[in-house]
Amino acid sequence: MSPRFATLRRWWGVLADLARPVTDAVRAGLECVSALGWTTLALGLVALVGGWVLGWHEFRILGATLLVLLALSVLFLIGRTQLEVDLELAPERLVAGDSSAAHVHVTNVARTPLLPVGLEVPVGESSARFTLPALAPGGTFEDVLVIPTETRGVIPVGPVRTQRGDPFGLLRRELEWSEGLDLFVHPRTVALESLGSGLLRDLEGQTSNDMSMSDLAFHTLREYEPGDDRRYIHWRSSAKASGASGQSAFLVRQFLDTRRSHVAVVVDVDEAAYTNPDEFELALSCGASVTVRALADEMETTIVCGAQAAVQPAPHTALDTYSRAEFGPWPLPAATSRLGTLAPDVSAVVLVTGPLTTFEVLQRARAYLAPQVRLVAVQVVPNSALSYREGLGIVVVTLADLTELPLVLAGGVTA
Q: Report the pLDDT value the prediction gives residue 207, as an integer from 0 to 100.
A: 40
Q: H-type helices in 160-260, by residue range? A: 235-245
- The CA distance from 268 to 262, in Å, is 20
**How far does Cα 354 stand from its chain's mean position?**
22
Q: What amino acid occupies position 60? A: R
d(CA 204, CA 216): 8
Q: How deeply is 320 buried, as exposed, middle or buried, from its count of CB atoms within 10 A (0-12, 13-18, 19+)? A: buried
Q: What is the pLDDT of residue 137?
A: 92
Please give the average pLDDT of every successive group of 10 residues along the chain, which has 415 residues. Answer: 66 70 67 84 90 86 89 79 92 95 94 87 91 91 93 94 82 86 96 69 41 46 74 73 70 60 94 96 96 91 95 94 96 94 92 96 94 92 89 90 87 52
| SS3 label, residue 297 | coil
Predicted confidence (pLDDT) per residue in 144-180, tens digit: 999 999 999 999 999 999 887 777 888 888 888 989 9
Q: What is the pLDDT of residue 220?
A: 62
In this prediction the pTM is 0.74
- State phi, psi for 54 to the nearest 5 degrees: -85, -10
Query: 3-state DSSP call for residue 73?
Result: helix
CA–CA distance from 121 to each of 5, 101, 176, 310 (Å)?
A: 50, 12, 10, 31
DSSP type of residue 196:
T
Rounded CA gap, 377 and 372, in Å? Answer: 16
Instruction: Report the helix count and the strand count for the chain, using DSSP H and E.
Output: 9, 20
395 contacts 363 by C-beta, under 8 angstroms: no
pLDDT of residue 157: 96
CB atoms within 10 A of CB 194: 15
**Distance (Å, rounded) from C-alpha 139 to C-alpha 119?**
16
